[in-house]
Structure 1
Amino acid sequence: MEEKTPRTEFIERISVVQLVLTFLFMGEEPAASGVACLGLLVYLMFTSYWLFPALYFTWQLLDWHTPEREGRRVDCVRRWKVWQHLSNYFPIKLVKTAELSPSRNYILGCHPHGIISMGAFACFSTESCGFAQAFPGVRSTLAILAGLFRLPIYRDYIMSAGMRPVSRHSLEYMLTRRGVGNAVVIIVGGAEESLACAPGINTVVMRNRKGFVRLALECGADLVPVYSFGENELYKQVVLPEGSWGRRLQALFKQIMGFAPCLFLGERWLFLPYRTPITTVVGSPISVPKLQSPTEERVDHYHTLYMEALTELFHKHKAGCGLADTHKLQII
């Protein structure tokens, strides 16, 4: 491997820092995002530039439903050079294990959530890991917290990367009204899973997460398990024990705000993640029939098949991704 120069390492760090800051102060912290975006626009309302925020707010109202419908994907944004520098920092690698036919639609369940879901972002919201080349004719779309698409300015930024709200209406639109060749990526464990992540831990929250399976059956979309090895190694998190007052506060905050406040430390400046390789492995698709009203038995059947496929994917690739044979996947 070619040794990196100090300049290259600096550029890679800055590329990662800008994403982490965006995540912390705009993406996962709606209150801070309100200060950053709404505050700026409100301030401009009382200056000679008042026309710009007035036009923007008017346009946003008219454009309110776009994130859940057509979206506004901009391919050149997904190919920004900054994303390549970000992927090279760790590095992040996408591994293909089977073909995905462009004549089908898919729901990719991505695990684990980690603190920032760096592997999912790099592999499915940018082209830095070569998704389009690995799966020609298939369009990847990362589904994230729906409330983020109500925030001015930020909504347009994340839409340009092809992200969509993880709402039922949005996902149904993608899988039934946008033709075929759509791969919707859902981080199944969500905020609850982020509270359980730490180096050396391979825990996924999905035993009672069956909504994505029901959606797959209703839309006739094949299920594909995805595991990002190394995602939980990026930060050292203080994992509070179940039942403690701190964990109860985190759960309450998650219930109210939709995301969980994690206590974590990085390699530098507290929030810069460790340079740990991330390998995002895309498994084989599980063929799913289209059923207008799937029974609970059908949902449970395909949910079980998915968990078995995810477990098999983990154990098949863990050694090649740096994990010892003693590492097990815990599904809760």
Structure 2
Amino acid sequence: MVEFAPLWVPWERRLQTLAVLQWVLTFLTMAQSCTIIFIGLLFTRFWLISVLYSAWWYLDRDTPSKGGRSWTAGRRNCIWNYMRDYFPISLIKTAELDPSRNYLAAFHPHGVLATGAFINLCTESTGFPSKFPGIRSHLMMLNVWFRIPIFRDYIMLGGLVSSDKESAAYILNKKGGGNLLTIIIGGAQEALDARPGNYMLLLKNRKGFIRLALTHGVPLVPIYSFGENNLYDQVENAPGSYLRWIQNRLQKIMSISLPLFHGRGIFQYSFGVIPHRQPINTVVGKPIEVQKTPNPSEEQVDQLHQRYMEELCNLFEAHKLKFNVPVDKHLEFY
């Protein structure tokens, strides 16, 4: 039975839904559309546009790993305010960040589309600049997305940068400080487990970000986004199932995962690609001080990794009851 939305809905809510719809469609189709347009123009009288863009692309090839090209006006666009209010999404600060230092943040969980990470860290709709004055936010994204013409320029406007060591080193070693580099630790693989009520994080053997923090001597900031996994339902794909095997194989080949998710539509609540109206509360934890160790040993990495997991659990436990997480639910790592 399809559950239809009321016929008369306030215009404000319609705008919120449209704002989210454009973002989802951008995420799901813009990369493919840009590729088709770029190649297609080569076979028309407008072929020079693609040729000139190729020249620009070559000259600008290192920008994604050199801090990107954030655009303040784009981050402040009112469309993000409508998207924020749709869920709604909020950013909770628990400690100060010194603008004279650089920080490495670890974001959990990935969710299906990393909605909380985008709104909180790539837009100013939840007040990041006012809550953390003097701090510039950068969010890492898979390198494959920066190899797509036009789309690469679009995503950089929000502060997205490539996810490689060179990119991390450039930001974390920037003189004068004031930079927060965020990595969504679970990545594409964790997205396959994003479903309501799931509090399992792909973290047990993810230690690359720990090495980065030690190598560059920057504080580690744990971030947990309550409600991130509640936005979509997902087709059952338990580990060991045939569907999960196919998804894992495709993820290894393409570097991106393909979760079979479903939410709601524009005029009905039963199916579609629009996420459910569920609140997201992103909590930024207290920085963990890290001593600079250019060549950290496995023991040093393991010690800091263990401490990080303990601090993340403490952050989760301290706030879970505020955001309707059952008292018997705890973080689990795999």
Aligned length: 322
Task: Find runs of 4+ consecutive structure 1 residues off by over 6 angstroms.
Answer: none
TM-score (ref. length: structure 1): 0.94
Give the one of 71, 77, 80 matched to 1:80: 77
Residue matched to 1:24? 28
Flag the 1:70–1:284 CA change in 2: closer, same or farther, 3 A: closer
Contact 2:67 2:167 in 1 (8 A): no
In structure 2, what is the Cα distance between the partners aligned to 1:158 and 1:96? 25
Bigger mean CA deviation after superposition, 189-198 or 280-289: 189-198
Listed as ranges, the matches of 1:66-105 within 5 Å are 66-105=63-102
Where do residues 74-223 of structure 1 align in structure 2 (5 Å cutoff)? 74-177=71-174, 179-223=176-220
Change in CA separation of 1:235 and 1:70 when aligned onto 2, cut-off 3 Å = closer
How many percent identity over aligned positions? 45
CA–CA separation in structure 2 for the residues paired with 1:173 and 1:149: 17
Cα 1:177–1:100 change in 2 (3 A) is: closer
Are the counterparts in 2 of residues 196 and 239 from structure 1 also a CA contact under 8 Å? no
Q: CA deviation at 1:177?
A: 3.4
- The normalised TM-score by structure 2 is 0.94
Residue correspondence of structure 1 range 291-330 to structure 2 within 5 A = 291-330=293-332
Root mean square deviation of aligned Cα: 1.3
Work out the CA distance in 2 between the residues paired with 1:216 and 1:242: 31
Deviations 1:238-279 (A, max 9, x none): 231211221111110010111111011102251111000000
CA distance in 2, matches of 1:256, 1:86: 33
Partner of 2:5: none
Q: Which amino acid aligns with 2:96?
A: E
Give distance in 1, aligned partners of 2:156 and 2:193: 29
Task: Measure how far apart 1:178 and its partner are.
Answer: 5.1
Cα deviations by residue, 1:43-78 (Å, 9 ceiling, x for unpaired):
222333222221111110111111111421111111
SS in 1 for 2:120: helix
Q: Which position in structure 2 is the counterpart of 1:224?
A: 221
1:126-163 alpha-carbon deviations (Å, 9 max, x no partner)? 00110110000111111011110111000000111110
Residues 1:52 and 2:56 are matched in the alignment: no
For the Cα contact (< 8 Å) 1:92–1:279, is it kept in 2?
yes
Give the AA of the match of 1:291: T
Runs of at least 5 residues in structure 1 that lack an aligned partner in the other structure: 27-32
Name the aligned partner's letter for residue 152 of structure 2: R
- Aligned-partner Cα distance in 2 for 1:43–1:179: 45
